[in-house]
Amino acid sequence: MPALFSENTGPIEESLGYLFNNRKLLLAALTHKSYHHENPGENREHNERLEFLGDSVVGLVIAEKLFLNEELFSEADMSKMKSYLVKEAVLYQVASKLSLGSYLLLGKGEETSGGRQKKSVLSDALEAILGAIFLDSDYETVRSVMVRLFSDEIPAVIMRKEGHDYKSELQEKCQGLFGVLPEYRIVKLEGEEHRRVFTAEVRINKQMYGSGTGKSKKEAQMAAAKEALDRLLNE
């Protein structure tokens, strides 16, 4: 087995905040199909079926969380927010916080190609683990685990009332196109203390690409990032 993999699942269970009754479910969730195909004699189940189940579990928990929010979001708003929260980049972010790549059982080819850091591999494994927890316990338990794991992501999306994270998208695009990170500056602050309006600018390679206003620094930066993305798309 790869040096990073261990049959001792205690650390990942501690990170999840859930102790499995049936450890075979967790081991299956951590087994990539590449290992399964390279080692058919072990008769070890891989995580694709659990990923299929986990995908539905993730969608249901997030849909319920948005539906029961006190702001009573519209169907359109919930759809946008859910679409963002279930996408690969967000699942990868949560999986990375768990250091999930360290626990995966991969085939030699997948290991060599950097599988432990691949967004697709880690996001799929996270869904498989949540599917495994659902089978090992019940819906209320997996919902509790998920809400804790997504404790940063879900509230952030609810606060923005939209699914799109323009700052993250701009950062990825800047790194891909220019090899640098965007720089944000708050250039104006207006209004009374309880009714502040912030104006932010975003610069790429010291050139101003967008500006925006908002009731908080983060909201103004998000608006500036959106304008910068629009400009990049039209250049």
Name the active-site residue from 51, 110, 124, 127: 127
133/207 Cα distance (integer angstroms): 49
Which residue, of 115, 130, 160, is where some domain finishes? 160
As given in the structure block, the two tokens for residue 117 are 């850091």
Q: Is 13 a catalytic residue?
A: no
Of 214, 152, 158, nearest in space to 227 by CA: 214
18 part of a folded domain: yes
Which residue, of 129, 145, 160, is where some domain finishes? 160
The count of domains in the chain is 2
**63 and 138 share a domain?**
yes
Q: Is 227 a catalytic residue?
A: no
State the chain's maximal CA–CA distance in angstroms. 71
**114 and 182 share a domain?**
no
pLDDT reported for residue 1: 45
Domain region containing 33: 10-160
pLDDT digits (tens, 9 = 90+) for 84-93: 899 898 999 9
pLDDT reported for residue 127: 98
**197 and 154 share a domain?**
no
**203 and 90 share a domain?**
no
Ranges of the chain with pLDDT below 70: 1-8, 160-164
Name the active-site residue from 51, 55, 110, 136: 55
**70 and 49 share a domain?**
yes
Spell out the residues 6+ positions from residue 171 whose beta carbon is closer than 8 angstroms to its own: 181, 182
- For 64, half-sphere exposure in the C-beta direction (CA atoms, 13 angstrom radius) is 13
pTM over 0.75: no
**70 and 152 share a domain?**
yes
**194 and 80 share a domain?**
no
Please state, as a whole number, how many other Cβ atoms lie within 10 Å of the Cβ of residue 20: 20
pLDDT reported for residue 156: 83
